[in-house]
Amino acid sequence: MKKIILSPVIHHNKKVLSIQFKYDNDVKNHLLKLESIYWSKTLRSFYTKLSLESIKTIFNHLKIKGCSIDFSQLEKYIEENKSKAIQNSHLVKQIPDNYKSDLLKFRKWLSQKRFSENTINTYVDVTTTYIKYALLKKADIYSTKLVEAFSYDYIFIPNKSVSYQNQFISGVKKYFEYNGFAHNEIQLERPRKEKKLPVVLSANEVKSIFNSITNLKHKALLSLLYSAGLRIGEAINLEISDIDSQRMLIHIKQAKGKKDRYTLLSPAFVKILRMYYVAYKPQKYLFEGQKGGKYSNTSAQKVLKNALDKTKIQKKVTLHSLRHSFATHLLEKGTDIRYIQELLGHSSPKTTMIYTHVTETSLKKIKNPFDDLF
């Protein structure tokens, strides 16, 4: 049985979770299927953020491989943080009816402002958590100090993403606006966005993913994401009538930013789509769940995960990686970036320009000075 040692360590002046084991390629590849797993030459081990959630995730993930997990060095950390969780358990209890009623009106107010359903759910969720925190602290909801305390306790300490922090700020700002409060009087500064390059698959890697899928519906879904450069939300919202096989276009309606657009309908994908349609006979949406209605985001993620398990791809691939790969491969084939911007539905060319940093074609043109030494 392969032994894994989990322990809290300091790395770059920050506490992280060290994952140590005697080198085993099978264990390494299985571990890297998780997000946010890094290798440290200094620690000579893999590591990730330190939290109760990450400990649980690592433990369950490696148990699948039959590993023996030694987390004895984490016992003190687990006990201390469990106590904090119990101490703050008031946060998960029901809030008073007057706040429930106010949040329901807040939701309706956001709907009238024509925010998307996803945005409304996110804003209401983060605002609900913030209100619970205010009640726990017995503090004024509109206090600058409370906003700062919440940011520290629930965003900085748990090492939440910059994206989550921005969602919190946006949600609370809208709640303040809804209540007629001058939110600009409170300092709600946004953090700098992380400048990360997208994960891009090679054409052979994309092909290997498709070749690993035997289920026709699953193959059709992932093929659509790549061949049309769609977001997963756009794909599962597609209706049968949105496919225009005469003009070889796909009509994307009210996508991000409430914009309509057209994107490519691949002739090769049409062949797969027709076979899928005959076999599954969807009624309204192009991809439907077993009980009808839209196919779920979660099911789509499982489809990709199962496909990746069958390949030897070690990149941290998500459904969105197929969209990134579509854009990058178009750019490498010489497609004008303005057309790529239109196909992806980007508001600004600056967003599309990120793909110029990951194109294989442009990087290959650079002569490496190391080659001149030999």
Residues in contact with 214: Cβ distance below 8 Å, sequence separation at least 6, in sequence order: none
pLDDT digits (tens, 9 = 90+) for 285-330: 999 988 778 888 889 999 999 999 999 888 889 999 999 999 999 9
Q: How far apart are CA 52 and CA 106, in angstroms?
A: 32
Domain extent, residue 73, equals 3-87
210 near 243, Cβ under 8 Å?
Answer: no
Please check whether residue 196 lies inside any domain of the structure.
no
Please check whether residue 117 lies inside any domain of the structure.
yes
Instruction: Supply the pLDDT for residue 93.
Output: 56
Q: Is 261 a catalytic site residue?
A: no
Global pTM value: 0.57
Q: Is 107 a catalytic site residue?
A: no
> Which CATH number characterizes residue 111's domain?
1.10.150
Q: Is 285 a catalytic site residue?
A: no
Residues 211 and 342 in one domain: yes
CA 339 to the chain's CA centroid: 26
Tokens of 361: 């074609």
Q: Is 259 a catalytic site residue?
A: no
Which phi and psi angles does 77 have, rounded to 5°?
A: -60, -45
Q: How far apart are CA 185 and CA 166, in angstroms?
A: 18
Last residue of a domain, one of 87, 111, 143: 87
Q: How far apart are CA 111 and CA 286, in angstroms?
A: 26
Residues 51 and 160 in one domain: no
Q: How far apart are CA 257 and CA 117, in angstroms?
A: 12
Please check whether residue 192 lies inside any domain of the structure.
no
Please check whether residue 355 lies inside any domain of the structure.
yes
Residues 37 and 105 in one domain: no
Residues 79 and 227 in one domain: no
**Catalytic residue, candidates 231, 276, 285, 329:** 231
**Catalytic residue, candidates 28, 183, 251, 320:** 320
Tokens of 186: 């409170």
197: DSSP letter: P
Instruction: Supply the pLDDT for residue 186.
Output: 57
3-state secondary structure of 222: helix
DSSP-derived secondary structure for 128-191: HHHHHHHHHHT--TT-HHHHHHHHIIIIITTT--HHHHHHHHHHHHHHHHHTT--GGGS--PPP
Tokens of 191: 């953090």
Q: How far apart are CA 335 and CA 329, in angstroms?
A: 9
Tokens of 92: 């998960």
**Catalytic residue, candidates 132, 218, 219, 346:** 346
Residues 215 and 343 in one domain: yes
Please check whether residue 197 lies inside any domain of the structure.
no
- C-alpha neighbours within 13 Å on the C-beta side of residue 116: 12
Residues 110 and 56 in one domain: no
Please check whether residue 41 lies inside any domain of the structure.
yes
Q: How far apart are CA 55 and CA 59, in angstroms?
A: 6
Instruction: Supply the pLDDT for residue 92.
Output: 42
167 near 126, Cβ under 8 Å?
Answer: yes
pLDDT along the chain (374 residues), means of 10: 89 91 89 90 91 86 85 82 52 71 89 83 88 85 81 75 79 87 60 73 93 94 94 92 93 83 92 94 90 85 91 89 92 88 87 80 70 74
Which phi and psi angles does 67 have, rounded to 5°?
A: -80, 150
pLDDT digits (tens, 9 = 90+) for 187-226: 566 656 666 788 899 999 999 999 999 999 999 999 999 9
Count H helices, E strands: the chain?
16, 8
Please check whether residue 195 lies inside any domain of the structure.
no
**Catalytic residue, candidates 218, 219, 323, 324:** 323
**Catalytic residue, candidates 2, 49, 256, 294:** 256
Q: Is 346 a catalytic site residue?
A: yes
Q: Count of domains in the chain? A: 3
Q: Is 323 a catalytic site residue?
A: yes
Q: How far apart are CA 130 and CA 141, in angstroms?
A: 8
Residues 115 and 13 in one domain: no
Please check whether residue 315 lies inside any domain of the structure.
yes
